[in-house]
Amino acid sequence: GAGVSQSPSNKVTEKGKDVELRCDPISGHTALYWYRQRLGQGLEFLIYFQGNSAPDKSGLPSDRFSAERTGESVSTLTIQRTQQEDSAVYLCASSLRDHQPQHFGDGTRLSIL
Amino acid sequence: DQQVKQNSPSLSVQEGRISILNCDYTNSMFDYFLWYKKYPAEGPTFLISISSIKDKNEDGRFTVFLNKSAKHLSLHIVPSQPGDSAVYFCAASGFNAGNNRKLIWGLGTSLAVNP
């Protein structure tokens, strides 16, 4: 498809388990962003990639969160030892370059039991 | 510390009338502003943007106005259509102290356009 693709669309897991969320950006987009949206809240920035380097990780809430990106393509966001407060929709976006409008995927809805 | 504020969580208008969504910001370093629309269970979709060197940008039924002295921007939708019913997010972009460009989001305004 031509848009940003995220998988899985829904994930339910037990507290303490690790989860891995995947994002396939639009081909050719050098910038990739991860956001989190908790229920009733706005978008919370997590991390930004330019190519496969992450110049801005300032939004990662704890060291349980990490992200990688392969070249200018797929990115994975990993949450270790999940907690209930990690329950949220995790959104990925990409843009042709930094400072360009971002194109979003439909998100992964993560529920921690 | 909400740097981008959308003070109206919801707005209801009649089909055919004008919808005006407001956004206030506190950081004078923001130089680029965007509006996104979000339907349930979908990611936000870029709608329209404006650079700080302009005070108006128009795209079809959508117009964004920027008042830098008041640190205020607004999105006008005219005429409003039922399909415009969605959550609208205002976002502002600028460099932070670490020289990284950041995009700061408002909490959104839920617009309902009634037939």
Residue A50 Cα, gap to closest chain B Cα (Å)? 11
**Record: contact B102-A56, CB cut-off 8 A:** yes
Of A41, A58, A101, Cβ closest to residue B107: A41
The predicted structure's pLDDT at residue A100: 82
**Record: contact A42-B44, CB cut-off 8 A:** no
Greatest CA separation for chain B? 48
The predicted structure's pLDDT at residue B1: 66
The predicted structure's pLDDT at residue A65: 96
Q: In sequence order, what DSSP letters do the residues of B36-50 get, joined into one string?
A: EEE-TTS--EEEEEE
Peptide bond into A101 cis (omega under 30): no
Instruction: Name which of A103, A99, A109 is nearest A50 in CA terms.
Output: A99
Measure the CA–CA gap between B36 and A56, rounded to whole angstroms: 22
CB of B101 within 8 Å of a chain A CB? The answer is yes
| Mean pLDDT, 10 residues at a time, chain B of 115 residues | 89 97 94 94 93 96 97 97 96 81 89 96
Residue B51 Cα, gap to closest chain A Cα (Å)? 11
Average pLDDT over all residues of chain A:
92
Between the CA atoms of B48, B84, A108 and A35, what dihedral angle is there, to the nearest 10 degrees? 30
**Record: contact A106-B107, CB cut-off 8 A:** no
The pLDDT tens digits for A23-71 are 999 999 999 999 999 988 888 889 999 888 887 888 899 999 999 998 8
Q: How confident is the model at residue A1 (pLDDT cuts 50, 70, 90)?
A: low
Q: What are phi and psi of B87, to 5 degrees?
A: -95, 130
